[in-house]
Amino acid sequence: MSSNNPILPNPAQSSLPASSPHEPGRFSGISLPQPRSAHRHPLLISLTYVLGGLFWLWALNPRLTAWLDPNHVSSSLFAVWSSTLLIVASGGLLYGLLKSYHSMEHRARQAQDLRLTHLMEQMADTAFIKDRRGYYLYLNAAGARQMGRTVTECLNRDDSALFPAGVASTLIADDRRVIADGTLLVRESTFAIEGDTHVLSFTKWPYRDTDDNILGILGIVRDLTPKRSLEQRSPHDCANLETCVQQRTAQLVGINQALERQIAARIQMEIALRESEERFRQLAEHIREIFWVYGMAEERLIYISPAYEEVWGHSIEALHERPRDWIEAIHPDDRPRVEATVQLATQTTGRVDEEFRIVRPDGALRWIWARGFPVRDDAGYVYRIAGLSEDITARKLAEDQLRRQQVELTRMSRLSLAVELASNLAHELNQPLAAIVAYTQACLTLLRQTPTDPRLLTGTLEEIANQGLRAGEIIRHLRELVYRHPAAQGTVDLNALIHSVLHYAQVELRQARISVKLALADALPMVSADDIQIQLVVLYLIRNAIEAMNEPETGPRELTVSTAQLDPASALMTIRDTGPGFDPTLEDQLFRPFFTTKPGGMGLGLSVSRSIIESQNGQLWATPNPDGGASFHFTLPIQAHP
């Protein structure tokens, strides 16, 4: 096998596709002429067939000459037939061997062709195969791109159909020279195509079959335009380029330094973050409060600080094993309420604010105040709840003590009022009573004397009557002292007032586990009253309600305070409780001084409250609730506009 070009591959050696011009084969989707060598197999086979036959004829029939002898016709005929059969069999065998060799060779060629096609398709330069006439049989994708056409548009067309006449004529002339000379051609040409100057390097060589027959042209075209334009730049351009490169380098150095600074800052930040996390961890692990984090996706506590073990008396490991461990330690009376809050928090609000009791393994009761806050991601989605749980047992005990002291103080003050009242009464009444006794004794002495003129008794009896009247005056005066409340008339916002009174009473309400409902009227006009005295009345009514609901057998403990505008001239406030209520026939008696049904009661609260409200041009009354409990109502005049 010959090669006309020692550097570039010989098409015959490269096993390009094998198919005849009459019987086109496939090569990367195009038709290529098949090298003739492949079609010489049948000829070779026929030749081998005849030579084999003659050999067997000579080898097996040495008496060939005898065959010509008429005496040996029959044996000669047999020899001819047997020789013929052997010739046919040997020929068939040889044909089969050649056929299988040929198909193996064909498959190997196909594989090589595929690899070559792949290689040509990967090239950045144009690669092509033309037939002898200069028609494109193959063009790679880079070539089509360079020509600004599709591969299909270029195939089976020559350069005159694809390039301007001036360009095409040069290319066609080169092709003809390659075909005529059968040698490699290398040319660098500058073409003006559609106003653009292109510098192209052509390398073309003949495409031959195994017999060195030229089937067409193989070629590679490289676009040197960018390279040449760089080379052709003037020294001034080069200097500019140098400056540009220097500027760009300086920019890149700047960017690099900024990046380095950013990386350093980020590292600093990460260190700071780690340090702050560490500080936070140390803080969380040393504070007395229990710090905890609940994960919404995980549906469990994902962190709890060691204080949990101290307060709950349960281990954190046990909590990790049984996530409900903390909740099962809650006092049975408080557990449903806490569970409801936790459910609401984990499903929607993310907020927790609950006080509850836990029972430690040693049976001790502890009061806990748990608060939780939602932690949101950038999209505002609550993905965690972070919280603190505090052991408030000491505070609760202090509150209890305070409450007991308050109650005691109230009882004492009531007692001392009663004592003071009684001693005042005793002191004030002592004198008229002594006078009455003395006058009565004088009358008796006179009556015992006989005869006695009854008219002498008139003056003494008048004195007795006077002293009796004086005693009545004293009692009335004392009552006035009790009930007289000098009022400082001003403007009062009843809705605001109820908030401050509830604030005073919040400890008592919480301890009695009473829930408060407010039903306050919007835009309630101001009333004309003494703010402090009305606060005392409301506090008194609320304390009565708490005491009423503290009775053991009462059911739900609910205090409802409502306000309303009753008519254009007056506003109404109602304090409603769910205590045992009162007998409706006793409604009037409740407001009498010293009426009480409580063991340590004074029976003055309601009567004093009524006198205060009436002194401020309002009314106070009570009604039993249809569904149990009592309601106390009072009105006050709406502040007249000046």
* Residue 602 or 612 with smaller CB distance to ligand ADP: 602
Spatial separation of the C-alpha atoms in residues 579 and 545, rounded to whole Å: 7
Q: 192 by DSSP, 3-state: which?
A: strand
* Closest to ligand ADP by CB, 3 or 596: 596
Taking the CB of residue 137, how many other CB atoms lie within 10 A of it? 23
Q: How far apart are CA 617 and CA 97, in angstroms?
A: 133
How crowded is the C-beta side of 615, counted as CA atoms within 13 Å? 18
Q: Which of 435, 595, 623, 639 binds ligand ADP (CB under 6 A)?
A: 595
Cβ closest to ligand ADP, residue 568 vs residue 599: 599
Position 590 contacts ligand ADP (CB under 6 A): yes
Task: Please say which residue, 158 or 577, places its beta carbon nearer to ligand ADP.
Answer: 577
User: Is 602 an interacting residue with respect to ligand ADP (CB under 6 A)?
Assistant: yes
* Cα–Cα distance, 205 to 7 (Å, whole number): 11
Is 483 one of the binding residues for ligand ADP (CB under 6 A)? no
Residue 221 in contact with ligand ADP, rule: CB under 6 A? no
Contact flag: residue 191 with ligand ADP (CB under 6 A): no
Amino acid letter at 414? R
Q: Does residue 548 bind ligand ADP (CB under 6 A)?
A: yes
Q: Which amino acid is at 238?
A: C
Would you say 580 or 637 has its CB closer to ligand ADP?
580
Nearer to ligand ADP, 514 or 590 (CB): 590
Read off the DSSP letter of residue 330: B
Selected from 630, 634, 635, 638, the binder of ligand ADP by CB under 6 A is 630
Measure the CA–CA gap between 190 and 166, rounded to whole angstroms: 11
Alpha helices, H only, 123-234:
141-147, 151-154, 159-162, 165-181, 225-231
The separation between CA 100 and the C-alpha centre of its own chain, rounded to angstroms, equals 69
Q: CB nearest ligand ADP: which residue?
A: 605
Nearer to ligand ADP (CB atom), residue 354 or residue 508: 508
597 touching ligand ADP, by CB under 6 A: yes
Asked if 220 touches ligand ADP (CB under 6 A), the answer is no
Burial-class residue 377 by CB neighbours within 10 Å (0-12, 13-18, 19+). Answer: exposed
Position 582 contacts ligand ADP (CB under 6 A)? yes
Per-residue burial over 609-625, b = 16 or more CB atoms within 10 Å of its CB, e = otherwise: bbbbbebbbbebebebe
Which range in 61-69, 278-286, 455-463, 575-583 contacts ligand ADP by CB under 6 A?
Answer: 575-583
Q: How far is the CB of 593 from ligand ADP (least distance, A)?
A: 8
- Encode 353-365: b = buried (16+ Cβ within 10 Å), e = exposed: ebbbbbbeeeeee
Nearer to ligand ADP, 593 or 637 (CB): 593
Name which of residues 315 to 334 contact ligand ADP (CB under 6 A).
Answer: none
Both structure tokens of 321: 């094993």
- Kindly state the number of chain residues that form the binding site for ligand ADP, as judged by CB under 6 A: 20
Q: Which stretch binds ligand ADP (CB under 6 A): 424-432, 482-490, 531-539, 594-602?
A: 594-602
Kindly state whether residue 579 participates in binding ligand ADP, applying the rule CB under 6 A.
yes
Q: Are 436 and 467 in contact (CB under 8 A)?
A: yes
DSSP 348: I
Interaction site with ligand ADP (CB under 6 A): 544-545, 548, 577, 579, 581-582, 590, 595-598, 601-607, 630
